Amino acid sequence: MFKHTMTLVALVSALALGACGNKEEKSGEQAKAAQPLPGDPIKGKAVFEQYCQSCHGADGKGNNGLGANFVEDKSRLAKSNEELLKSIREGKQGKVGTMPAQKGVLTDQQMKDALSYIRKTWGG
């Protein structure tokens, strides 16, 4: 009998403890916010198709090495908008090849729109 009582006490306290439960407070850490779009992705799609797609591919994968691969090389879109816009504006030479400067070809707004389309479609 005593043994049963003890078991019961143990059970009840276990239940009580469970009920008080440690509500898991969400820690203040939030998912790192995606980069804000610097322009209009809808206008940017047209810019991309006309000026960027030949090298970057309609699928963003870099058209067999002609342009940076935004899908498989996550380091690209991990960069800030400022950094990427500078690469687009001034051109960029790197491990994949050379991207010609777009200044003089496109307005700053068109470059921002194109980058917005890239971000909206492939992330970062």
**Site of interaction with ligand HEC (CB under 6 A):** 51-52, 54-56, 66-68, 76, 79, 83-84, 87-88, 92, 94-100, 102, 106, 114-115
- C-alpha 104/C-alpha 101 separation (Å) is 8
Q: How far is the CB of 30 from ligand HEC (least distance, A)?
A: 26
Q: How far is the CB of 32 from ligand HEC (least distance, A)?
A: 19
The residue of the chain with the least Cβ separation from ligand HEC equals 94
Other C-beta atoms within 10 Å of 106: how many?
19
Distances (CA, A) of 118 to 39, 55, 70, 109: 11, 13, 8, 14
Q: How far is the CB of 31 from ligand HEC (least distance, A)?
A: 23
Q: Please identify, using beta-carbon distances, which residue of 23 and 61 lies nearer to ligand HEC.
A: 61
Q: Please identify, using beta-carbon distances, which residue of 13 and 100 lies nearer to ligand HEC.
A: 100
For residue 79 the two structure tokens come to 């960069």
Nearest CA among 92, 111, 114 for reference residue 46: 114
Distances (CA, A) of 85 to 27, 41, 49: 34, 14, 17
Q: Please identify, using beta-carbon distances, which residue of 30 and 98 lies nearer to ligand HEC.
A: 98
